[in-house]
Amino acid sequence: MERLIKEYAELLNSDKAATEKFWALDKRIRADRKSIGVRANEESGSKLKNILTELIIEYVISVDDLQNFSEELRESTSRWIQTYSSNLE
């Protein structure tokens, strides 16, 4: 999120016209809201497994990044990934 805020600030501090900056920022925020990283900050803890699974499927993180989570969560996430992978075949 910090990276996004810095990028938004750069856009707002550019030499473009105010209306151009406004609409560019609006477009950018709408697109960023769809990314899993942004959505993960808005979701409740009960959806953590789904978020982690999606992050792994999108290659944002790897299964190895879950080492510090509970064994139950790691196993459950692995099952979701296997289910997702088998549905693609």
Query: 28-72, pLDDT tens digit by residue?
Result: 999 988 876 676 666 555 577 788 888 888 888 988 888 887 788
79, two tokens: 């099952």
Q: Nearest CA to 83 among 46, 57, 58? A: 57
Confidence category of residue 24, pLDDT binned at 50, 70, 90: very high
Distance CA 19, CA 36 (A): 28
1, two tokens: 């999120």
How far is residue 40 from each of residues 20, 31, 49, 53, 63, measured CA to CA in Å?
Answer: 29, 15, 11, 11, 17
pTM more than 0.75 = no
